A = this chain, B = another copy of it.
Amino acid sequence: MTTALTTTDPRTGAQADTGIAPTSDAAVDAIAERAGKAFDQLLERDRRWRAELLDALADALEDHRDELVVTAEAETGLTRARLNGELTRSAFQFRLFGEAVLEGGFLEAAVDHAGDTPMGPQPDVRRMLVPIGPVGVFGSSNFPFAFSVAGGDTASALAAGNPVIVKAHSAHPLTSKASFAALREGCDRVAAPDGTIGIVYGQRAGSRLVGHPKLAAVGFTGSLAAAESLRAIIGKRERPIPFYGELQSVNPLIVSAAALAARSEQIAAGLAASVTGSAGQLCTKPGIAFVPAGDQADAFVAQLLAEMETTVPAVLLNARVLESFRTAEHDLESAAGVESLLGSSRSLDPAASGFLVSPRVLRVSAQDFAPEHAAEAFGPLVLVVEYPSTAELATALGVVPDSLTVTLHMEDADQREFSPLLPQVAGAAGRIVFNGFPTGVRVSWAQHHGGPWPATNSFHTSVGVTAIRRFLRPLAWQNAPEALLPEELRNGYTGIPRRVDGRLEVSASPIDAG
């Protein structure tokens, strides 16, 4: 006998039964097998159809906007404004991948004609990326749409031509269920094969999915600990598969002396907004701010406190996030040399206020800054580290774990002084933000959302068009009869960019222009 999954309203702490049963082993297997069959059928659909599928998924999401937003609000405590924006982003993401599918550059098509070479006569060889098979998607707690059932992993895996099986997040099962129903509707509108998308519920089902022979890759957004347990399952598979994890990130932000002199108030206001937006529960939230020590630092901290005090208190996503935050803030404020400037780790009464927390600002000198201060605190917390010199800043930065982002605030005046830090910064992050804030990840062609371990484990992004590369593998055809080649590799095909005999040729007529 299995118990139905529960859902909790973070605004009140009230728990309710969802009526959703955890997916049984047999059901997981059936879903995986169905995805395997769908994969074969999807191989027969062309790119134009795939773009239609992605558009239909975007439309279906938007058709169910109100219901989805209300459901997610009750399960995450995020505001309607934020959730509406996130749903818009999810729909935009599906459509952007649709455009990329039509454009076709992602196929990395290449044709080397037969002929004489410095290595003698050589055969005709043509290469293109092809889909890999069913992809398992483990969404996050903090983005119930854009990094969950209807998120970027799902969109990019489908765009690549793969079926997707999502594992519903335990903190928002009803949102997952409703999102899945909307996507299913989108699939039906374009007559997608049965099994194009599937969903499983419960931790056991998720583990079984990752171990299933039909699964070809896993996209994951969540904690390092959960990632390690899934990686252990992959380690025991007969056939290893890639695990693309977006795990944790501290996102250091560095302010130069000249930037502080020129824009102290502005930076304080921006930082406060970036730290407290979505209650600080963003993977790119700046968790540590390095500022030059001295009088200006004191003024900056005062400005930051004033800004943080005016933010509206917010609830955290769930009991687990709350517990982690309590531990992180407690560890930090009891560490040697760390001074608490705003807020407290004393628990509020969850019965009265749900998972409400107060925003936190703490301070430490670069000399006292140590690895134990540099853990991710997922929530509205920022640690200000005051550095006496660029050399000591570099040393302190070396203590921070590699992150999704590093942010630099500097002026032309001290650009030269800070330039030597750039290789270190570049080696420790996936994105370098200049004179801005790392939250608010643009979904676009040039985006990269992925950093060195432990930020992510991959050489790939989970946001932006190139996320599609994670779910494709190359295939080569040697001396293939024209009729047996994919149309994109046939002679004279001009609908996509191709590399022909080493020379990149840009598409003359993308198929969406036809």
Contacts and interface: CB of A to CB of B under 8 A. Distances in A.
Contacts of A11: none
A423 B123 contact: no
A127 B426 contact: no
In this complex, the member of A435, A446, A472, A484 whose beta carbon has the largest number of chain B beta carbons within 10 angstroms is A446
B447 A475 contact: no
A431 B497 contact: no
Interface residues of A, number: 79
A287 B106 CA distance: 34
Interface in A447-484: 447-448, 450, 452-454, 457, 459-461, 464-466, 472-481, 483-484
A474 B448 contact: yes
Interface in A221-252: 235, 239-240, 242
B434 A478 contact: yes
Given A126-B446, A506-B505, A423 B119 contact: no
A203 interface: no
Contacts of A472: 459
Contacts of A270: none
A240 B231 CA distance: 11
Contact of A445 (B43, B112, B242, B481): B112
Nearest to A501: B445
Contact of A426 (B110, B475, B501): B475
A25 interface: no
Copies of this chain, count: 2
A238 to B, nearest CB: 8
A415 interface: yes
A330 interface: no
A351 to B, nearest CB: 39
A409 to B, nearest CB: 11
Interface in A350-381: none
In this complex, the member of A43, A108, A112, A436 whose beta carbon has the largest number of chain B beta carbons within 10 angstroms is A112
27 contacts: A108-B466, A110-B446, A111-B446, A112-B447, A119-B443, A123-B436, A125-B447, A127-B448, A132-B459, A239-B452, A422-B484, A430-B473, A430-B474, A430-B475, A431-B475, A431-B476, A431-B477, A433-B478, A434-B484, A435-B479, A438-B478, A442-B478, A445-B499, A459-B473, A504-B507, A505-B506, A506-B506
For the complex of A and B, list the 3 residue pairs with the smallest distance between their C-beta atoms, beginning with the closest: A110-B446, A448-B476, A127-B446
Given A239-B454, A434-B477, A459-B473, 5 more contacts: A99-B502, A412-B481, A429-B475, A430-B476, A452-B473
